[in-house]
Amino acid sequence: MVDRIGKSVTQRQLRVGEMIKQALSMIFIRNEAKVPNLETNTITVTEVKMSQDLKIAKAYVMPLGGKNADEIIEKLKEYSFLIRKILSQRVFVKFLPKIIFRKDESFEYAEKIENLIKQTNKEKEV
């Protein structure tokens, strides 16, 4: 597997990323982070990508239905220290990575591709 830069992704990166993804998902489902004015049980963690040195974790998240995604991502970024504190009790690694929350745009991209395919098929029929 290769990342965007062209460097190969190691098994360790994949394993740690998956471990953090599962832990974040459980924290959000159980609403354990106690982020003010945010119900985290509606947030889905779709992927976690680790840096080569395992010190940065990019968590791609999407709220249920995609509503207010940008606001929710900003709130998660603001309170990432709180989420990281809870995560430190769940994941045991030498260095707990810094968590960077990003909006997962893969669903929008997939929908765009699907619409293009449908449009192309309609044009072929005519």
Give CB contacts under 8 A, 24+ apart, made by 8-12.
10/52, 12/54
Global confidence as pTM: 0.76
Domain 11-125 has CATH 3.30.300.20: yes
Residue type, 102: R
User: Residue 102: which H helix or E strand, with range?
Assistant: strand 98-103
Domain boundaries, the chain: 11-125
Per-residue pLDDT 10s for the chain (126 aa) are: 555 555 787 898 889 999 999 999 998 888 887 887 777 777 888 899 998 888 999 999 888 877 788 888 888 888 888 888 888 888 888 888 999 999 887 777 777 788 888 888 777 776
Query: Given this model, what pLDDT does residue 3 score?
Result: 58
Is 61 in contact with 103 (CB distance < 8 Å)? Answer: yes
Is 35 in contact with 99 (CB distance < 8 Å)? Answer: no
